[in-house]
A and B are shown apart, each in its own frame.
Chain A
Amino acid sequence: MKARLWGAGTLLLMLLTSYPASARQSGGAQKGPARTGANTIERLRRMSPEERKKALEKLPPERRRQAEERLRRLDRMSAAERDDLERRYDNFQRLPSARQELARKMFRNFNDLPPDRRNDVRAGFERLRRMSSAERSAFLKSREFSQQYNRREQAILEDYAELLQSPQL
């Protein structure tokens, strides 16, 4: 029996090592259209401390620190929060690359704001999200908007409003 299992094991091992990596990637639990980001967060989170270190050590210190902090944030999330984020990450990957870049640019500009201004802008995001498309354009042209936010913040909020128009978002 042992020899039999060993023979089977050898066969499986040889099959797995001979099959191209691209096909191996798709062989896991992920199925159907959610393949792009499938398990991305779970995989990121399940990296061992050693793997995390190895994956990030080539980054400049400040960027590495930020990436580590982001991993810790994932660690602190509940399973439900991670699932929700996983789904949204997957949708995000399906956006045209120009939209993805717009989102990243906007997020970097947002992160460069002083912390107290970030809170105000975050409140602006929240507000925009609850508005209809027509309400948004009216708000972005309003006096209130130009008085409450400086030019830099206005640009961030305008980008955010633009991104909310994406059908996938």
Chain B
Amino acid sequence: MATDECRLRTEEGVEALLEYCAGRLHAADAVVLESHLAGCAPCREFAAAQQTVWQSLDAWEPAIETQGFQSRLNARLAEDSTPAWKDRLRAWSSGISWKPAIPMAAAFALWAAISAPPRPEIPAQAEQVRPEAVERMLEDVDMLDQLKLNAQ
């Protein structure tokens, strides 16, 4: 995809933007996308709005989390865009005896933090914007409900 072709024009482009906002776009693709974002206000606006949605929802995540750590890790390990470190972790954890795990965990946590993909930096004043983001989600949902937009 050309750097200057607006991502909002194609489904594929929108998909890439969404992946980017979720922090899942591969680094090389993210660089290309970021150079487009630098020159395209509609895409920046779209990305910032998505980021706001994510941040708002993430703020509630700890309180409504019902899955255990293990299932969350399993879900993470099973993600399709598996970075190499996850493969290494999977191989490593399948053969491991957990006894010496504590010092290793510290080292591993550091490694994971360093090698994890970077979070996209999209300006969004998370603290101030949260109630409005919630309000907007509720408004959108209510609108789709009441106006039967895209209902079948």
Contacts and interface: CB of A to CB of B under 8 A. Distances in A.
A103 B23 CA distance: 28
A67 B57 contact: no
B24 interface: yes
B18 A14 contact: no
A160 to B, nearest CB: 7
Nearest to A110: B147
Contacts of B149: 88, 92, 103, 163-164, 169
Given A12-B69, A23-B23, A40-B57, A55 B131 contact: yes
B69 A13 contact: yes
Which DSSP category, helix, strand, loop or mixed, fits chain A's interface?
helix
Interface residues of A, number: 77
A168 interface: yes
Which DSSP category, helix, strand, loop or mixed, fits chain B's interface?
helix
B143 interface: yes
A82 to B, nearest CB: 9
A25 B23 contact: yes
Nearest to A121: B147
Interface in A1-27: 3-5, 7-27
A150 interface: no
A122 B63 CA distance: 38
Given A11-B104, A15-B112, A85-B141, A43 B60 contact: yes
B150 to A, nearest CB: 4
Interface in B1-50: 8, 11, 14-15, 18-19, 22-24, 42, 45-46, 49-50
Interface in A105-145: 106-107, 110, 122, 125-126, 129
